[in-house]
Structure 1
């Protein structure tokens, strides 16, 4: 495998291991050759997610934009530290990406595509590189308002969910759009003990990641200034309804625990669109937006919240 100094990441399809000092991360770049000053899209996946889960999206983007994805420490094709830390924060993930890009010699501007927990990691990266990001796409992302009522969180779901497989219960086994080979790679990675340990460490830090963002007041400071933001909202409450039904059918949870699950899920349905819409405030362009059908459209059509 080539050394990073020998790779021009702006041209052709390139992949390789890039040192971040203590170990190496796997980096892959593809799409149209990049001219000076043109942005490159950087994927920041959700908790416990690798680039294998995003190959279908990558293929849709490649015809019109240069695309960069990488596996975080301890995930997929990347190396990890000698011992998985007990927790992995969004701040540390952002710092590793910063080092990765600098060591690979990949220059801004960047467009960030973030999913789920990537809402935290991407915004910590925005905190590090506010002058280098020219747009952000949030796909059903966590925000600082996520579960912010002090009375409940994901822990109230666990007694009813039990040990079920989220992918099986929600129907992703049959509804995904990956090839058989790609789907097999995803499932094998998720079953890898190293992957599971890293995912658990990321999950351990997630509550503090939310609090860290609160203190930074990005929605008030609007660090993206006049650059665009897009927000896509998935039907996550629908998935949790399927998981609730499965858990009840399996006999999981007491009546009180099931009632609390339903109460929290109802609140999620009510609040999620508001939580997601708040992300538009990262840019000044979000001050005026209207609703058209299933979308929120900004006055200048440059930003939107879309619900599939």
Structure 2
């Protein structure tokens, strides 16, 4: 279908067994090589969390937001519907795009668990993917280090409000009405969030078996990995939980032990994913927690713009690796660079592998 025929505003699209909610905004795609941005939300998260990002991205690109089955405004799957693994999410997304008449190329933007969905989509449809932005992404090794859910974290958190304790509610750029809409959408899909969490270990194992980082699955297509300061979120939860007396001493010690090694583990998992492409870069946000799209959507929008500009330059004979001005330097096509480009300091590290 011609890009001008793609849906705009919010629509309910049948995927055969039920319907998914989606919205497409932004300018019409100017050519058959012009990618559309596809946002893949984290576990239990919803399209309404990304309205601020969509406002920014729609100034320069077509962007699609959608809710997976049982989340947000989408229908729940019928009895017998596959468990909500990342592979099942890919099958749904592909059917959604097909039935909505949305053609490749696709620029996949995955946050947290959504990054695993993006990578599973890359595995099945590599030719459809023009580039990727992985925002504080989960990885295939996540379940090696983190329990989801973690009983020790849950005990210390108790009845604390995550958004209040971490500062997310104060720091978000969403309006009050947008926040309320998001909260209602998330609440409506709580059972599906629990089902996605229950599949997480299996999902990680399935992705690990594909050895995408070793095989450089994205080739030389542009990849941006954003590393947020998720450890800060949980340090705040730990501090407040202990302050109000939540959890046993043993549970607090276990939580503290995890926090003491959290940053090193997180760094390792983010850096490993740069190996997905020979044209990759890392953005490290020291002053932002896990929910980058709610607090600093401008940074995420800029990282979406970089691979779009890259593919546009290639189509028009431009130089590869031209990125936004915040970058230390362009990415070398032969030696992947890890670029720490946002925060009070900046340095460049070169990976030998």
The equivalent of 1:161 in structure 2 is 157
64-73 or 82-91, which deviates more: 82-91
Verify the 8 A CA contact 1:84 1:197 in the aligned structure 2: no
Q: Which stretches in structure 1 are left out of the alignment for 5+ residues? A: none
Structure 1 counterpart SS, 2:279 = helix
Structure 1 counterpart SS, 2:142 = coil
| Cα 1:70/1:236, change in 2 over 3 Å | same
2: distance between equivalents of 1:152 and 1:72?
20
2: distance between equivalents of 1:62 and 1:275?
30
The equivalent of 1:260 in structure 2 is 254
160-169 or 72-81, which deviates more: 160-169
The offset of 1:299, in angstroms, is 3.1
Verify the 8 A CA contact 2:36 2:105 in the aligned structure 1: yes
The equivalent of 1:145 in structure 2 is 141
The equivalent of 1:278 in structure 2 is 272
> How big is each residue's C-alpha offset from its partner over 1:33-64, in whole Å with a ceiling of 9 and x where there is no partner?
11222111100000111111111111111111
Q: Does 1:299 align with 2:294?
A: no
The equivalent of 1:25 in structure 2 is 20
Q: Does 1:238 align with 2:271?
A: no
Aligned 1:1-308 pairs, distance under 5 A? 13-34=8-29, 35-83=31-79, 87-149=83-145, 154-192=150-188, 195-286=189-280, 298-299=331-332, 304=339, 306=341, 308=343
1: distance between equivalents of 2:125 and 2:282?
30
1: distance between equivalents of 2:4 and 2:73?
18
152-161 or 115-124, which deviates more: 152-161
Q: Which stretches in structure 2 are left out of the alignment for 5+ residues? A: 287-326, 344-353
2: distance between equivalents of 1:65 and 1:264?
40
Verify the 8 A CA contact 1:27 1:69 in the aligned structure 2: yes
RMSD after superposition: 2.9
The offset of 1:238, in angstroms, is 0.4
1: distance between equivalents of 2:219 and 2:41?
24
2: distance between equivalents of 1:267 and 1:302?
25
2: distance between equivalents of 1:239 and 1:67?
29
2: distance between equivalents of 1:114 and 1:261?
27
The offset of 1:250, in angstroms, is 2.4
Kindly tell me the number of residue pairs found equivalent between the two proteins.
299
Verify the 8 A CA contact 1:11 1:32 in the aligned structure 2: no
